[in-house]
Amino acid sequence: MEKDSLITEEARALIGKEGEPITGEVYEKEIRRFCYAVGDLNPSYLDEEEAKRNKCGGIVAPPMFYDIPTVQEFPLDELKEDGLPTTGLNLPLKATRAMAGGKEVEFFQPMRPGDKITRVGKIVDIHEKRGRSGPLVFTIFENRYTNQDGELVAVEKLTGISW
């Protein structure tokens, strides 16, 4: 590792280590609120009778609802100045700024009201590239979402950029 690298040994040691599982339940009311908020009025998400006639056989959540059941709430006094929680993964990098660099999600099956969804996350890669103004750190996170039967629901890959 270069001596001026922004990646610390502590950060490298986190590659591949899974975080604590987080589980939440899918509620029909939350599906409805989500649909109204994003303007997706598909009857498969909102109308039980109509949804029973489609290939899913009942109400399902829209694909982009995948992370809603496992979103954690924090009181204001547990948030840093940037709005992120003081607990959880705080990657030990020698960087002072960060931003989102992209997201990819692969869906395997729908979520239904009553499903218990568990998210398990890990860092799959940390690497550095040289930008015009200096070093940039790219961190690849992966979150796997499974239901109460252990079936894979979705896999999310996030890229964080730090400098």
DSSP string, 99-146: EEEEEEEEE-S---TT-EEEEEEEEEEEEEEEETTEEEEEEEEEEEEE
Is residue 72, in this structure, part of any structural domain at all? Answer: yes
Is residue 98 classed exposed, middle or buried when 0-12, 13-18 and 19+ CB atoms within 10 A define those classes? middle
Is residue 67, in this structure, part of any structural domain at all? Answer: yes
* Per-residue confidence (pLDDT) for residue 67, from 0 to 100: 97
pLDDT tens for residues 35-75?
Answer: 999 999 999 999 999 999 988 899 999 999 999 999 998 99
Instruction: For 64, list phi and psi in degrees, rounded to 5.
Output: -75, 5
Contacts of 85 (CB under 8 A, 6+ apart): 72, 74, 78, 79
pLDDT tens for residues 96-128?
Answer: 899 999 999 999 999 999 999 999 999 999 999
Domains: count for the chain: 1
Whether the Cβ atoms of residue 132 and residue 158 lie closer than 8 Å to each other: no
Is residue 143, in this structure, part of any structural domain at all? Answer: yes
Q: Specify the higher pLDDT residue, 56 or 32.
A: 32
Is residue 84, in this structure, part of any structural domain at all? Answer: yes
* Per-residue confidence (pLDDT) for residue 85, from 0 to 100: 83
Which range of residues forms the domain containing residue 88?
9-162
| Nearest alpha carbon to residue 25 among 110, 111, 116, 109 | 116
Is residue 2, in this structure, part of any structural domain at all? Answer: no
Tell me how far apart the alpha carbons of residues 130 and 153 are, in angstroms, rounded to a whole number. 36
Whether the Cβ atoms of residue 107 and residue 132 lie closer than 8 Å to each other: no
Is residue 121, in this structure, part of any structural domain at all? Answer: yes
Q: What is the CATH number of the domain that holds 83?
A: 3.10.129.10
Percent of the chain exceeding pLDDT 70 equals: 97
Tell me how far apart the alpha carbons of residues 91 and 72 are, in angstroms, rounded to a whole number. 18
Average pLDDT over all residues of the chain: 94
Is residue 24, in this structure, part of any structural domain at all? Answer: yes
* Per-residue confidence (pLDDT) for residue 106, from 0 to 100: 99
* Per-residue confidence (pLDDT) for residue 16, from 0 to 100: 97
Region of 58 please: left (phi>0), alpha (psi -120 to 50) or beta: left
List residues bridging with 117 in a β-sheet.
24
Is residue 150, in this structure, part of any structural domain at all? Answer: yes
* Per-residue confidence (pLDDT) for residue 1, from 0 to 100: 52
